[in-house]
Amino acid sequence: MKIATWNVNSIRTRHTLVIDFLHRQDVDVLLMQETKCRDDQFPLDVFEEAGYDVAHYGVNQWNGVGIASRLGLTDIEQGFAGMPGFAKDPSAEQAPEARAISATVDGIRVCSVYVPNGRGIDDPHMAYKIDWLERLGSAFGDYSRHADAHPFVVGGDFNVAPLDSDAGDPLFLLPGSTHTSDKERSALEEFHARAGVSDVVRPLIPEGYTFWDYKQGKFAKDHGLRIDFLYGSADFADAVVGVDIHRDERARESPSDHVPVSVEIETAGDDDDRPMVF
């Protein structure tokens, strides 16, 4: 099974690029972020014609997450248990945002997440980001302890570059920068610990970026960030047989500012003489 994650930066603008990628790369499951549309605005017919079922969570023109699968989708869940919300006014209702969606695909639990940006080190949105990551970790830690839990992967735009080598854009290594601050990196490490997950791509591809800003020729200069990840449970990680960061997608016409990251796992249905994991 091949699973990819991609911050598409508007699915209505880039659905042609997305479908083309799915077919060229033979992707079974795509985790999407920043779809930027309501559920009723998602180009569902295009995906169905391409052979993919879709689960989507979008409430306005901001955020939005989805899962496309040609292997079916069951047990779809919008958000996660304990997911916090956000409002500029701390006294107002902290409404949940469309930032997480999960489903089960052929015995694998998959989750697409778009972690809050943070906006600034002392911005209220940063506290929201830290809390959001903490609760995401707790939710999947709880899930993993269920007797009927599946192997799982949480993929998406985490808006954190864990290592200095993940920040090719020098602006993000300046004091006071977001995405690389100690508090954000610590929150991501805490998510790993709470959820019991590991990065399944880095062991095979230790270097490489997944995001380049549109401005100031960042892609040409390779001033990028590695902020898009696939984090798997131990049984999921043990099944990995291949990974890829699809850098060439950033060079296409009218691309997203992020590129897809994919992982291939061996499942019990694969025609292979190697020992099966599940």
Closest CA to 64 of 104, 115, 114, 129: 114
Q: Which two tokens stand for residue 273?
A: 């003489």
Confidence of residue 53 (pLDDT cuts 50, 70, 90): very high
Neighbour count for residue 192 (Cβ, 10 Å):
15
pLDDT for position 274:
36
Superfamily of domain 2-265: Endonuclease/exonuclease/phosphatase (3.60.10.10)
Where in the chain are the domains? Answer: 2-265
**Structure-token pair, residue 1:** 């099974």
Closest CA to 79 of 49, 59, 61, 108: 59
Rounded CA Rg of the chain: 18
Tokens 């989708």 belong to residue: 73
Per residue in 149-202, pLDDT (tens digit) is 999 999 999 999 999 999 999 999 999 999 999 999 999 999 999 999 999 999
% of the chain residues with pLDDT over 70: 96
Identify the CA nearest to 192 among candidates 145, 157, 154, 219: 154
State which H helix or E strand residue 130 sits in: helix 124-144
Q: What is the pLDDT of residues 218-267, one digit of tens each?
A: 999 999 999 999 999 999 999 999 999 999 999 999 999 999 999 999 98
pLDDT digits (tens, 9 = 90+) for 36-48: 999 999 999 999 9
Q: Edge-to-edge, what's the strand order for the sheet holding 2-7? A: 53-57, 65-69, 29-33, 2-7, 261-265, 240-245
Q: Residue 74 pairs with which residues in a beta bridge? A: 104
214 three-class SS? coil
d(CA 116, CA 191): 14
| Tokens, residue 155 | 């993929």
Q: pLDDT band at residue 278, thresholds of 50, 70 and 90?
A: very low
